[in-house]
Amino acid sequence: MNAAPGLVTESGQDARSLVIRDLVKEYRRNKPVLRGINLTIAGHGLTAVIGPSGTGKSTLLRCINRLVEPTSGEIKFMGQDLARLRGRQLREARRRIGMVFQEYNLVERLTVMENLLSGRLGYVPVWRAWLRKFPQADIDRAFGLLDAVGLERVALRRADALSGGQRQRVGIARAIMQEPDLILADEPTSSLDPKTSVEIMEILSRLAGERDIPVIVNIHNVGLAKRFAQRVVGMTGGHVVYDGPPDGLTDADLKAIYGGENWLDERP
């Protein structure tokens, strides 16, 4: 590992690193979507997971914060096996992991500010959330993040009044509000136009980079993956078939990941 300021544990890995061992997920018996994934993600930098639709990228990401229950395997993070946590422990582990969604998943009828503050719901008592009496530190941080993503003027606008790009900025800011030790982004740009996609990836990598939060992004746009990721993981059929730097990704690798080759000629 290079000069990242992350803490180093006795095992030689930084504190925020994620270790996935033999992860299997079957939605139906004996039809695994993930067939024994082994990955170690460093505690800094942006890792892109690429692969065709339906290959288990989203399942992999959702197994990490247990929106999907893994069938077997280990997910070691911050000294815990996330795959074994239950109840309160699981909730407390989830607070450390921010998530950005393809469809933004904002609460549409709440304001931008309320959506940002909902990133703190794991920490704020229920009655405070209900009365909107969030700690001043949270409100200050929310305003700071709104400035950082360029949404300071729409803080009091309802989320359903925003454009797709603006909504995803709120989604990213909400994830950062958690002060997470890891950010999972599930196809964050797939519902957006190409220009907005680049802007969203820039914001995501900048905000996470400034805070040295490791990010795992599912993305099917190979160009964006190469541009923003320090590491690319290629998946196909529930296996990892490429794992390395974006520069090392050859046409042969892409063919192995996506199958076929005619589509390669049409890349810009």
Partner 1 sequence: MSTVGTAIDREWVRFTPAQRLGRYALYLAAVIAIVWSFRTIEIIPEFLYDSPQQIADLFVRMWPMDWSYFGEAVWASLIETLHIATLGTILSLFFAVPLGLVAARNLTPVPVLNWFAHFLFVTSRSVNSLVWALLFVAIFGPGPLAGTLAIAFRSIGFVGKLFGEALEEANQGSIEALVAAGAPKRSQILMGYWPQVRPAFWSIALFRWDINIRESAVLGLVGAGGIGVALDTALNLLYWDQVAVVLLTIFAVVVLAELVVTAIRQRAL
How many residues does the structure list for the chain? 268
Residue of 15, 64, 13 whose CA lies nearest to 37: 64
With CB under 8 A as the contact rule, the residue among 3, 29, 53, 126 that binds partner 1 is: 126
At closest approach, how far in Å is the CB of 75 from partner 1? 15
Residue of 145, 98, 144 whose CA lies nearest to 121: 98
At closest approach, how far in Å is the CB of 124 from partner 1? 8
The pairing of strands 46-50 and 182-186 is unpaired
Based on the shown chain and the rule CB under 8 A, indicate whether residue 76 belongs to the binding site for partner 1: no
The angle subtended at Cα 52 by Cα 203 and Cα 251, nearest 5°, is 90
At closest approach, how far in Å is the CB of 93 from partner 1? 8
Based on the shown chain and the rule CB under 8 A, indicate whether residue 188 belongs to the binding site for partner 1: no
From 14-22, 77-85, 95-103, 141-149, span contacting partner 1 (CB under 8 A): 95-103
φ/ψ of 185, rounded to 5, equals -125, 115
Based on the shown chain and the rule CB under 8 A, indicate whether residue 97 belongs to the binding site for partner 1: yes
- Cβ proximity of 259 and 75 under 8 Å: no
Residue of 192, 160, 152, 120 whose CA lies nearest to 202: 192
At closest approach, how far in Å is the CB of 72 from partner 1? 22
- Cβ proximity of 214 and 16 under 8 Å: yes
> What span, in angstroms and rounded, lies between the C-alpha atoms of 230 and 16?
16
With CB under 8 A as the contact rule, the residue among 28, 130, 156, 195 that binds partner 1 is: 130
Q: How many residues bind partner 1 (CB under 8 A)?
A: 32
At closest approach, how far in Å is the CB of 107 from partner 1? 5
Based on the shown chain and the rule CB under 8 A, indicate whether residue 106 belongs to the binding site for partner 1: yes
Q: Which is nearer to partner 1, 68 or 148 (CB)?
A: 68
From 20-28, 105-113, 200-208, 249-257, span contacting partner 1 (CB under 8 A): 105-113
At closest approach, how far in Å is the CB of 96 from partner 1? 8
Strands (E), 132-202: 182-186
B/e letters for 105-132, b = 16+ CB within 10 Å, e = fewer, are: ebeeeebbbbbbbbbbeebbeeebbeee
Based on the shown chain and the rule CB under 8 A, indicate whether residue 13 belongs to the binding site for partner 1: no
Based on the shown chain and the rule CB under 8 A, indicate whether residue 118 belongs to the binding site for partner 1: yes
**String of contacts with partner 1 for each residue 164-183, x by CB under 8 A:** -------x--x---x-----
Based on the shown chain and the rule CB under 8 A, indicate whether residue 107 belongs to the binding site for partner 1: yes
- Cβ proximity of 156 and 111 under 8 Å: yes
At closest approach, how far in Å is the CB of 159 from partner 1? 9
Residues that bind partner 1 (CB under 8 A): 65, 67, 91-95, 97-99, 101, 103-110, 114, 118-122, 124, 126, 129-130, 171, 174, 178
